[in-house]
């Protein structure tokens, strides 16, 4: 046999140098960058979702407080002298804290004053949260309008006033803890 021998296709030449395949870095780098981008997108989406839910809860709480104070002030400024005791009971049921104590102390005077008054219809022109307090209560600035018919029934007298109502949630219900007329 000659020094140059032929290698069959099935035989392996142990003395031949086989070049190594080059390492392909493209696919692992693309996979790592993609994984980092996906993780960043998920983290960013989570932060945005948590912030959105927090803002939504705050908006709902604010709307709930404003809705309650608006309804309360409409009832508070609407006076029916024929139902003075019902008026006093309704206001007392929605009061708490200092406002309840003050209202309870002056209950008889308030009933007499309402019974002697002309029927009025109150409405809220505007209301807005002034600030949230540390105890969870809210100070709400309210502008009201009161309409009263004269004794002859021919004309209507309107007057406006501003109030700061402090409302706090007790259990599942909002209540008024302080009511101050602003001059």
User: Six-digit token pair at 157?
Assistant: 């007298």
- 34 belongs to a structural domain: yes
Q: What is the pLDDT of residue 23?
A: 84
Q: What is the pLDDT of residue 5?
A: 58
CATH number of the domain that residue 161 is part of: 3.10.450
Helix axes 84-93, 97-105, angle to 10 degrees: 150
- 89 belongs to a structural domain: no
CA dist list (Å): 75 to 48, 84, 129: 40, 12, 19
Distance in angstroms (rounded) separating the CA atoms of residues 85 and 74: 17
Q: Which residues, including other chains, have CB under 8 Å from residue 181's CB and lie 6 or more apart?
A: 161, 162, 163
User: Six-digit token pair at 146?
Assistant: 């009161």
Nearest to 121 by CA among 153, 155, 79: 79
Distance in angstroms (rounded) separating the CA atoms of residues 65 and 55: 15
pLDDT per position as a tens digit, 34-82: 999 999 999 999 999 999 999 999 999 999 999 999 999 999 999 998 9
Q: What is the pLDDT of residue 153?
A: 74
Q: What is the pLDDT of residue 2?
A: 54
- 134 belongs to a structural domain: yes
Q: What is the pLDDT of residue 24?
A: 87
- 93 belongs to a structural domain: no
- 103 belongs to a structural domain: no
Q: Which residues constitute the domain of residue 156? A: 26-78+119-182
Distance in angstroms (rounded) separating the CA atoms of residues 76 and 67: 14
Q: How far apart are the first and last CA of the chain?
A: 122
- 15 belongs to a structural domain: no
CB neighbour burial string for 9-44, b if at least 16 within 10 angstroms, e if fewer: eeeeeeeeeeeeeeeeeeeeeeeeeeeeeeeeeeee
Q: Tell me how many domains the chain contains.
A: 1
pTM of the model: 0.76
Q: Decide: 88 and 100 in contact? Cβ < 8 Å.
A: no
Ramachandran quadrant class, 136 (left: phi over 0; alpha: psi -120 to 50; beta: rest)? left
- 17 belongs to a structural domain: no
- 138 belongs to a structural domain: yes
What is the chain's pLDDT, residue by residue, as a tens digit (183 residues)? 555 656 565 666 677 777 888 888 889 999 999 999 999 999 999 999 999 999 999 999 999 999 999 999 999 999 998 999 999 999 999 999 999 999 999 999 999 999 988 889 999 999 999 999 999 899 999 999 999 887 777 888 899 999 999 999 998 899 999 999 998
CA dist list (Å): 72 to 68, 76, 176: 6, 6, 8
């Amino acid at each position: 046999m000659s020094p140059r021998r032929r290698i069959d296709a099935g035989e392996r030449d142990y003395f031949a140098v086989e070049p190594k395949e080059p390492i392909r870095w493209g696919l692992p780098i693309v996979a790592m960058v993609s994984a980092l981008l996906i993780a960043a997108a998920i983290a960013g989406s989570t932060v945005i979702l948590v912030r959105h839910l927090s803002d939504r809860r705050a908006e709902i709480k604010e709307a709930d407080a404003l809705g309650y104070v608006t309804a309360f002030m409409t009832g508070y400024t609407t006076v029916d002298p024929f139902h003075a005791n019902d008026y006093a009971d309704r206001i007392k049921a929605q009061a708490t804290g200092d406002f309840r104590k003050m209202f309870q102390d002056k209950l008889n005077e308030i009933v007499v004053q309402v019974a002697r008054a002309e029927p009025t219809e109150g409405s809220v022109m505007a209301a807005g949260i002034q600030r949230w307090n540390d105890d969870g209560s809210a100070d709400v600035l309210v502008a009201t309008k009161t309409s009263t018919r004269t004794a002859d029934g021919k004309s209507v007298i309107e007057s406006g006033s501003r109030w700061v109502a402090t409302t706090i949630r007790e259990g599942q219900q909002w209540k008024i803890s302080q009511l101050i007329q602003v001059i």
